[in-house]
């Protein structure tokens, strides 16, 4: 080091100045971060803690009885609540259809657009993404029209193709799930963009080397493309799981949030929302929210652990 | 020879893949065609048998002061379009609109087999009807105001925070950054009630403030997007500027931002579209104030009024998506290129 050229005093001074410089750099940095830090405290961390505290109370927005500590009452209610279990079941049933599709279809679509032989790739890219931009209410109006058993185009087409009893879609308690999933496909664009970006980031050398070794297009896709984009698949899977438990707005827009048809759209988050804003039972709603948080956390943890078996991280940057 | 065979094979492969993609895309976008055609239909067309899928009305002809439907005559009668004056099971009387003076022409056959003639006739006044009924101008104004104010907040705060994360050494930075990223995966319901309760206490429920103010405190997606981009900008320039005595704020504004316009505009557009489409926020905070509601909630509220009128429902959805979709097509290069470059998206 150059210290040998300096007297001890000089080196002390340099160190002090360096320290001061670092301190001022850190202070400036924190100043720039401060909007987010304040926002994180005010809109995330403190509300989260308050939500947790509420679960041990009898808090209501309009407080009739005095606010008090009620111990585990809300949790006991939670464990014995058949409606909660029903809502959880509805969410899981919906997720069994929607989750796999929300991963597989964007991959397929991205692979199609990534195909070198496709003409006008940019145009397809833009147009497949475009429905993502459409407002939820418009999307709901359009799909409930097009899937309408009377005069909707989908059933008209199915009937001309010879289908005798086309589904009732949004009216039927069983077909409502496929209908909601189909409607949700319009949001496929954001996952597709990510998958495509990842696919385009795979180095051409890998494909060339595999081709030299005699690997066909299928082999290349399954043994090079998929492993290379697996981190993005993982990211999308996490988002989809969180999204699944948050899912309920279409049920509000389409059915006014009353669970139609026949309670089939009583999603977990709808039940939670109703506790908050219709029954005004904030404390119980908060308990439901924490249960959701714990479920999401658990699923995330399992997925995180499972990464080692299927997510491939190329040498860290 | 070999090369031409190869080009041919390439051509066929391209044609097949493209054909498949076109079929897929048409299915995917088919509901838009449904929306547009329905939005311009006359209400009468809905209940008409044999009406085409596009907006059209049956053509009529006035004969001796009476209106009669025009029908398509079978080919053996010359395939003309004649007005059906007297309907009969065995024989009908028609008149040739080109030549009404010739009088009634007798035709033997069931009149029901004659197809009515439709002409393209969009009901442009559906637009006017919806515009007036849902007070569209008011909704547009509210939506723009909320979206633009929030956009200003997002751009300012996220740029500052991203700059902080990308350029300064400070203790605990990586933990803070991890924390930021985790918030992407946090279910919003866990913070909903205290936030709502606090906004109620300070009298913000029933105003635009809960929809605007939080955006001045940055959000994870956009900070990440901007930070990734800032990281790719070489430090030499801003270090040189600092040497010349420029403070950090000046460096951000005069050195970093001019090199990052694309991503800043992308963030701005993303926020605008997001705010335009946001349903839940206005739904809970502006439930009692219809005059302050933006388009997303305003449209929904009128759904029940139109329940029996599909053409007005579809016109409403068309009007609701027109502006975000137009904005998307205008800004698609910026939005999609910048996002792919940084490899993340909201």
**Residue B132: is it exposed, middle or buried by C-beta count within 10 angstroms (0-12/13-18/19+)?**
exposed
In whole angstroms, give the CA distance from residue A185 to residue B29. Answer: 11
Least confident of A105-114, A273-282, B196-205, B295-304: B295-304
Query: Does the structure show a pLDDT above 50 at A207?
Result: yes
Which residues of chain A are within 8 Å of residue B197 when distances are taken between CB atoms? 61, 282
Distance from CA of A163 to the nearest CA of B (A): 18
Mutate to test the interface with B, among A20, A32, A231, A237 (most CBs of B within 10 A): A32
- Which residues 52-111 of A are in CB contact (within 8 Å) with B? 54, 61
Q: What pLDDT does A55 receive?
A: 92
Q: What pLDDT does B339 receive?
A: 63
CB contact under 8 A, B190 and A290: yes
Torsion-angle region of B95 (φ positive above 0: left; ψ -120 to 50: alpha; else: beta)? beta
Which element (helix H / strand E) includes B85?
strand B81-86
Q: What pLDDT does A128 receive?
A: 94
For domain B126-342, give its CATH number from 1.10.510.10, 1.10.357.10, 1.10.3720.10, 3.40.50.620.
Answer: 1.10.3720.10
Distance from CA of B109 to the nearest CA of A (A): 28
The number of CA neighbours under 13 Å toward the Cβ of B205 is 15
Nearest CA in chain B to A192: B345
B280 touches A at CB < 8 Å: yes
pLDDT averaged over chain A? Answer: 89
Distances (CA, A) of B140 to A249, B97, B184, B205: 22, 48, 30, 21
Which element (helix H / strand E) includes B91?
strand B91-95
Query: Does the structure show a pLDDT above 70 at B2?
Result: no
CA nearest to B97, candidates B69, B58, B57: B69
Which element (helix H / strand E) includes B127?
helix B125-133
CB pairs under 8 A between A and B: 247
Nearest CA in chain B to A114: B17
Distance from CA of B290 to the nearest CA of A (A): 16
Predicted confidence (pLDDT) per residue in A285-307, tens digit: 999 999 999 999 999 999 999 98
DSSP letter, residue B254: I
Which residues of chain A are within 8 Å of residue B167 when distances are taken between CB atoms? 29
Distance from CA of B10 to the nearest CA of A (A): 7
Q: What pLDDT does A294 receive?
A: 94
Mutate to test the interface with A, among B21, B257, B295 (most CBs of A within 10 A): B21
pLDDT averaged over chain B? Answer: 87
Backbone angles phi, psi at B183, to 5 degrees: -65, -20
Per-domain residue ranges of chain A: 2-54, 77-310
Predicted confidence (pLDDT) per residue in B91-138, tens digit: 888 888 888 787 788 887 777 777 888 888 888 888 998 888 888 999
In whole angstroms, give the CA distance from residue A238 to residue B212. Answer: 28
Query: Does the structure show a pLDDT above 90 at B144?
Result: yes
Distances (CA, A) of A180 to A94, A253, A269, B142, B244: 9, 12, 16, 29, 59
- Which residues 172-231 of B are in CB contact (within 8 Å) with A? 173, 176, 179-180, 183-198, 200, 214, 216-219, 223
Confidence band of B321 (pLDDT split at 50, 70, 90): very high
**Residue B185: is it exposed, middle or buried by C-beta count within 10 angstroms (0-12/13-18/19+)?**
middle
Greatest alpha-carbon span in chain A: 96
Confidence band of A86 (pLDDT split at 50, 70, 90): very high
Least confident of A118-127, B57-66, B248-257: B57-66
- Which residues, other chains included, contact A19 with Cβ-Cβ below 8 Å and sequence gap of 6+? none
Q: What pLDDT does A48 receive?
A: 95
**Top mean-pLDDT range of A105-109, A202-206, A257-261:** A105-109
CB contact under 8 A, B336 and A193: yes
Strands of B13-65, DSSP E = 56-58, 60-63
Predicted confidence (pLDDT) per residue in A129-140, tens digit: 999 999 999 999
Query: Does the structure show a pLDDT above 60 at B286?
Result: yes
Pairwise pLDDT comparison (B64 vs A223), residue with the higher score: A223
CA nearest to B271, candidates B196, B319, B221: B221
CB contact under 8 A, A135 and B296: yes
B171 three-state secondary structure: coil
Least confident of A172-186, B3-17, B68-82, B255-269: B68-82
CB B154 within 8 A of CB B219: yes
CB A228 within 8 A of CB A110: no
Query: Does the structure show a pLDDT above 70 at A6?
Result: no
Query: Does the structure show a pLDDT above 60 at A5?
Result: no
CA nearest to B271, candidates B195, B214, B188: B214
Q: Which two tokens stand for residue B189?
A: 């319901």
Query: Does the structure show a pLDDT above 70 at B338?
Result: no
- Which residues 13-52 of A are in CB contact (within 8 Å) with B? 22, 25-26, 28-33, 35-40, 42-44, 46-48, 50-51
Residue B187: which of A30, A128, A246 has the nearest Cβ?
A246
Q: What is the pTM of this model?
A: 0.87
Query: Does the structure show a pLDDT above 90 at A98?
Result: yes
CB contact under 8 A, B248 and A32: yes
CATH of segment(s) A77-310: 1.10.3720.10
The number of CA neighbours under 13 Å toward the Cβ of A151 is 21
Q: What pLDDT does B120 receive?
A: 87
Mean per-residue pLDDT for A181-200? 90
CA nearest to A36, candidates B50, B25, B221: B221
Mean per-residue pLDDT for B238-250? 86
Residue A117: which of B17, B164, B192 has the nearest Cβ?
B17
In whole angstroms, give the CA distance from residue B126 to residue B280. Answer: 28
In whole angstroms, give the CA distance from residue B245 to residue A50. Answer: 46
Distance from CA of B340 to the nearest CA of A (A): 6
User: Helix H segments across A147-247?
Assistant: 153-160, 176-184, 189-201, 204-212, 217-220, 226-246
Which residues of chain B are within 8 Å of residue A289 when distances are taken between CB atoms? 187, 189-190, 192-193
Which residues of chain A are within 8 Å of residue B202 when distances are taken between CB atoms? none
Q: Which two tokens stand for residue A251?
A: 């049920």
Q: What pLDDT does A23 receive?
A: 85
Nearest CA in chain A to B220: A36
Residue A44: which of B157, B185, B191 has the nearest Cβ?
B191
A115 touches B at CB < 8 Å: yes
Predicted confidence (pLDDT) per residue in A12-36, tens digit: 777 777 788 888 888 999 999 999 9
- A136-146 and B310-342 are packed helices; what angle lies between their axes, rounded to 10 degrees? 130
Confidence band of B45 (pLDDT split at 50, 70, 90): confident
Least confident of A132-136, B2-6, B51-55: B2-6
Residue B168: which of A28, A112, A286 has the nearest Cβ?
A28
A118 three-state secondary structure: coil
Least confident of A35-44, A142-151, A295-304: A142-151
Mutate to test the interface with A, among B166, B186, B194 (most CBs of A within 10 A): B194
DSSP letter, residue A41: I
DSSP letter, residue A120: S
- Which residues 71-130 of B are in CB contact (within 8 Å) with A? none
Mutate to test the interface with B, among A27, A141, A231, A275 (most CBs of B within 10 A): A141
B29 touches A at CB < 8 Å: yes
CB contact under 8 A, A127 and B25: yes
Pairing of the two strands B91-95 and B56-58? unpaired
Distance from CA of B127 to the nearest CA of A (A): 15
Query: Does the structure show a pLDDT above 70 at B324?
Result: yes
Q: To 5 degrees, how large is the angle CA A218–CA A219–CA A225?
A: 85
Residue A138: which of B29, B310, B317 has the nearest Cβ?
B317
Mean per-residue pLDDT for B42-63? 82
Least confident of A41-45, A160-164, B284-288: A160-164
């Amino acid at each position: 080091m150059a210290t040998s050229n300096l007297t001890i005093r000089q080196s002390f001074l340099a160190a002090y100045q360096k320290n001061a410089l670092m301190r001022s750099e850190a202070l400036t940095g924190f100043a720039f971060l401060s909007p987010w830090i304040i926002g994180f405290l005010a809109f995330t961390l403190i509300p989260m803690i308050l939500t947790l505290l509420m679960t041990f109370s009898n808090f209501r927005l309009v407080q009739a009885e005095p606010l008090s500590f009620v111990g585990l009452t809300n949790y006991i209610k939670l464990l014995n609540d058949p409606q909660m279990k029903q809502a959880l079941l509805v969410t899981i049933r919906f997720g069994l259809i929607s989750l796999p599709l929300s991963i597989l279809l964007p991959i397929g679509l991205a692979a199609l657009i990534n195909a070198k032989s496709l003409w006008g790739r940019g145009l397809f890219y833009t147009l497949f993404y475009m429905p993502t931009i459409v407002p939820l209410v418009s999307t709901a109006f359009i799909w409930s029209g097009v899937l309408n058993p009377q005069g909707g185009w989908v059933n008209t087409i199915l009937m001309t193709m010879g289908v005798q009893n086309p589904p009732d879609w949004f009216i039927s308690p069983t077909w409502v799930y496929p209908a909601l999933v189909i409607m949700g496909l319009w949001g496929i664009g954001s996952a597709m963009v990510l998958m495509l970006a990842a696919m385009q980031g795979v180095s051409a050398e890998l494909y060339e080397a595999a081709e030299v070794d005699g690997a066909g297009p299928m082999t290349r896709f399954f043994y090079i493309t998929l492993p290379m984009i697996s981190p993005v698949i993982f990211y999308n899977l996490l988002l989809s799981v969180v999204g699944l438990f948050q899912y309920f707005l279409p049920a509000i827009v389409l059915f006014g949030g009353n669970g139609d048809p026949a309670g089939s759209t009583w999603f977990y988050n709808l039940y939670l929302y109703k506790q908050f804003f219709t029954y005004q039972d904030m404390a119980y709603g908060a308990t439901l929210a924490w249960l959701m948080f714990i479920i999401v956390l658990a699923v995330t943890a399992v997925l995180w652990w499972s990464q080692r078996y299927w997510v491939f991280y190329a040498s860290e940057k | 020879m070999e090369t031409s065979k190869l080009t041919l094979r390439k051509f066929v492969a391209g044609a097949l893949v493209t054909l498949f993609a076109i079929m897929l895309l048409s299915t995917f976008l088919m509901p838009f065609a449904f929306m547009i055609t329905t939005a311009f239909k006359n209400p009468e067309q809905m209940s008409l048998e044999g009406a085409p899928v596009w907006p059209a009305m049956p053509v009529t002809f006035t004969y001796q002061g009476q209106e009669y439907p025009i029908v398509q005559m079978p080919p053996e009668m010359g395939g003309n379009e004649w007005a059906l004056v007297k309907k009969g099971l065995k024989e009908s009387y028609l008149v040739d609109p080109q030549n009404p003076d010739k009088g009634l022409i007798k035709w033997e056959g069931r009149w029901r087999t004659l197809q009515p003639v439709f002409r393209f006739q969009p009901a442009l006044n559906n637009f006017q009807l919806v515009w007036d009924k849902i007070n569209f101008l008011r909704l547009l104004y509210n939506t723009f105001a909320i979206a633009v104010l929030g956009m200003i907040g997002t751009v300012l705060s996220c740029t500052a925070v991203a700059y902080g994360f990308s350029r300064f050494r400070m203790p605990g930075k990586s933990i803070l950054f991890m924390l930021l990223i985790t918030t992407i995966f946090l279910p919003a319901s866990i913070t909903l009630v205290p936030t709502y309760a606090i906004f109620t206490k300070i009298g913000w429920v029933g105003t635009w403030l809960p929809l605007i103010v939080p955006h001045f405190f940055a959000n994870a997606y956009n900070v990440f997007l901007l930070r990734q981009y800032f990281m790719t900008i070489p430090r030499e320039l801003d270090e040189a500027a600092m040497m010349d005595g420029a403070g950090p704020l000046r460096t951000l504004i005069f050195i970093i931002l001019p090199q990052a316009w694309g991503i800043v505009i992308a963030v701005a557009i993303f926020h605008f579209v997001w705010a335009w489409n946001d349903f839940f926020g206005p739904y809970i905070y502006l439930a009692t104030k219809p005059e302050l509601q933006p388009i997303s909630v305003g449209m929904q509220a009128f759904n029940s009024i139109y329940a029996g009128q599909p053409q007005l429902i579809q016109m409403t959805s068309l009007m609701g998506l027109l502006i975000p979709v137009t904005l998307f097509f205008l800004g698609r290069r910026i939005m999609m290129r910048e996002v792919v470059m940084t490899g993340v998206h909201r």
